[in-house]
Amino acid sequence: MNPLLSHFEYAPFSKIKNEHFFPAIQELITQTKVEIDTIANNSEKPTFKNTVEALDYTGLQLDRVTSIFYNLNSAETNDEIQKIAQEVSPLLSDFKNDLLLNEVLFNRVKEVYNKKDTLELSTEQQTLLEKQYKGFSRNGANLSEDKKETLRTIDTELSKLQLTFGENVLAETNAFELHLSDKNDLSGLPEGVIEMAAMTAKEKNKEGWVFTLDYPSYVPFVTYADSRELREKMSLAFGAKAFQNNEFDNQENVLKIVSLRHQRAELLGYSSHAHFTLEERMAKTSEKVIDFSEELLEKAKPAAQKEFNELESFAKELDGLDHLEKWDGSYYSEKLKQKLFSLDDEQLKPYFKLEKVINGVFIVANKLYDLNFEEVSDIDTYHEEVKTYRVTNNEGDLVSIFYADFHPRAGKRGGAWMTSFKPQYIQDNTNERPHISIVCNFTKPTESKPSLLTFNEVTTLFHEFGHALHGMLADTTYKGLSGTSVYWDFVELPSQILENWCYEKETLELFATHYQTNEVIPMELVEKIKASAAFQEGMKTLRQLSFGLLDMEWHSKDPSTIDSVKAFETHAFSETKLFPEVESNCMSTAFSHIFQGGYSAGYYSYKWAEVLDADAFAYFKEQGIFNKKIAKKFKDFVLSQGGTQDPMDLYVRFRGKQPNPEALLKRAGLLKD
C-alpha cells in the first residue's frame, strides 16, 4: 500500500520510500483531474460556490504530497530523488497547464467574474475570484490552440532546467573541499571552527581538517583565516560554482532559462518576464523597481564607497595591502569591526547556544502572539535531526505543527527557507491547522561544544521563524490565499520585521545566556551589537541592490543577444562594483534564488520589504516592542490575513498610513535624524 495515497494528518515520512513518489503523484494528478472535470462539466449555472470555491478545494492531497517531495529534494536529497524530480516536474507542469488552459473551466470562472459586481461576496471571496480569473487569463487561457501547445513546451522545459540548475549548484558545493594537514594554516580561525573542520575530516575518514563550501564552514574561514592564499582558494572555489566548463556548468542553463522566460512572457502579451511577473506584485512594473533601486543606490553608493576606502586604508595600515580583493573583504571588515566596537562573533557565540535561541524565539512569539511551543517526539520526520513541536494558544487549541531542521548535510542545499507540509484552510466548518517547517544550515555542535550560533545565524533563525509565524497564524477560508500566499514583495515583511527583535536588550535578556556559566549577556555587549548594527551598511545595501539589479537585467529585456553570462553579469554589476573583478568567478551560475527558486524578477523584494519592516518596527518601538495591542494589530491585519486583500491595504490597516522609507534610511545610518 502506498502511504502517500491514503489519508494522513502528518506527513508519513518513515513509511515513505522513494519509489512511492512517482506513482502517487501520477495517481493524484488523475484524481485531481477528475475533481476539476466535475467542476468544468457541472450542468448547473456557474456560481462562486460550485466553481471558484470548489476549484480552490481541489488537489489537497496532491499539493501535500508534492510539498513533501520537493522539500525532501531540497533538505534530504540523493541521486534517486533528483532523478524522480526530473520525471515528476514535467508531469506537474503539464497538469498545471491542463488546468490553466482548460477552456471550459475558464469560461465558468469568467462567467462568475463578469457578474462579480452583482454578487454579494466578502473581500476574501472577491480576492479569490480575482486571483483565479487572472491565473487563467495571465497564463494562456485566451491563447489559440497552437500557442497553448508552445506554452506547454516552454513550461515543461523550464521545470526541467530549473531543477538541473539547482542540482548542479549542490553538486559543485559538495565537490569542493579544502583539506589541511598543517596546523599553521589554521592561524586566526576560532577554536570552534577548527573543531568542526576536524569533525568533518573524521567523517570523511581523513586526517587533519576539512573545510567545505557550506556556509557554516565557508563564512568563518574567509572571515578569520590569516592565510590570504587559502582565503583566496576558498573564495575562488565558492565564486566558481557551476562556472567551470564541466558537467555541472550552468552557463547554458542560465541562457536557456532567461530565453524561455522571455519567450513565455511575449507569448502571453508582455514585453518581458519582469513585466509579466511584476503585474502581480506591489511594485507593479520593472520601471518602478528600477527607480526604487536607483533611489536607494543614490543614497547608499557614496556611503559604500567611503566605507570601502576606509577598509582599504585599514588593510594597508594593518598589513601593507595595496588593494583589497574579494577574499579580503570579510577578513578585514571583521578586524575593523573589532577595532571600532571591540566586538567579534567569537565573543558573542557563547551566548547564542542554538537551543537557547530557539527557546528565545518561542518566548518572543508567546509575548507577542500568545503562542506556546511543546517539543514532541510522536510526529514523523525525514531525518533524526529534525525537531517537532505542537503549537497552541493560551486556551490550549492547536494552532500549528512546527518542524525545524538546523544543520548542514550532504543532501541539503545551502541557505535557509520556510516551507509547509499542510496548508491552513476552513472546510465544512473545520479550521484545518497548518504544518510549517523551517530548514537552515547552522553551525553544528562538536565533541566539546554545543551548537553556538554567530549573530548572523541568530538573525537568520528569527527571519525564517517570521516566515513560519506567517504560516502558523494563517486564518483564512481558502488555501489559495492562506499564509505566505501573498504578493512576493510582501512575503518578506513578516520575516524581516522579526529580525529587529534580535537587536533589542529586552529580547536578548530573554535567551542570550552563556552556555557554560548561564550568565546573561553583558549590557556592554548588547550596546556593541546595537552600535555595530549599521556597520558598513552602505556596502551591505549596495551588495543587496546589486543582486536585485542583476535580476532585473536578466529579466526585464530581450535576452536573445546575450552570448556570455559572465560579460553580461559584469556589465550589470558595473554601477555597484567595489572589489576588482575576478574572471574565474560568476554569481549568476549559482544564483539559485532567481534561477531555481521563486525570486526571478523579484529579488528586489528584500529591499522593498525592508522599507515596510523598518517602518512597521518603528511603530512597535514607539509603543513598546512587546506591546500586545500593536502585536494584535500585526497579527490581525498581516500575519493571519495571507493574501485575502491587497497588501498595501492590509499594511495601512495595521500602521494607519503608508510606509515611510525614511525609517529604513535612518536605521541603515544613511539618513541622519
Q: How far apart are CA 476 and CA 562, in angstroms?
A: 45
50-64, pLDDT tens digit by residue?
A: 999 999 999 999 999
List the one residue out of 221, 225, 220, 181 whose CA is nearest residue 201: 181
347-383, pLDDT tens digit by residue?
A: 999 999 999 999 999 999 999 999 999 999 999 999 9
Question: What is the pLDDT, as a whole number, of residue 598?
Answer: 87
Q: What is the mean pLDDT of residues 470-495?
A: 96
Q: What is the mean pLDDT of residues 73-90?
A: 95
Mean pLDDT lowest among 6-10, 126-130, 314-318, 528-532: 528-532
Question: What is the pLDDT, as a whole number, of residue 668?
Answer: 84
Question: What is the pLDDT, as a whole number, of residue 670?
Answer: 82
Query: Is residue 652 pLDDT above 60, yes or no?
Result: yes
Question: What is the pLDDT, as a whole number, of residue 672?
Answer: 64
Question: What is the pLDDT, as a whole number, of residue 220?
Answer: 95
Question: What is the pLDDT, as a whole number, of residue 285?
Answer: 93
Domains, the chain: 3-142 (1.20.1050.40), 177-239 (no CATH), 350-520 (1.10.1370.40)
Q: What is the mean pLDDT of residues 579-586?
A: 97
Q: Which of 53, 172, 307, 464 is catalytic?
A: 464
Average pLDDT, the chain: 96
List the one residue out of 597, 538, 478, 653 whose CA is nearest residue 58: 478
Q: How far apart are CA 400 and CA 434, in angstroms?
A: 5
pLDDT band of residue 344 (cuts 50, 70, 90) is: confident
Query: Is residue 673 pLDDT above 60, yes or no?
Result: no
395-446, pLDDT tens digit by residue?
A: 999 999 999 999 999 899 989 999 999 999 999 999 999 999 999 999 999 8
Contact at 8 Å (CB) between 381 and 414?
no
510-558, pLDDT tens digit by residue?
A: 999 999 999 999 999 999 998 898 899 999 999 999 999 999 999 999 9
Asked about 464 being catalytic, the answer comes back as: yes
Locus of grid cell 589541511: 180
How would you label 70-96 residue by residue, b for 16+ Cβ within 10 Å and e otherwise? bbbbbbbbeeebbebbeebbbebbebe
210-229, pLDDT tens digit by residue?
A: 999 999 999 999 999 999 99
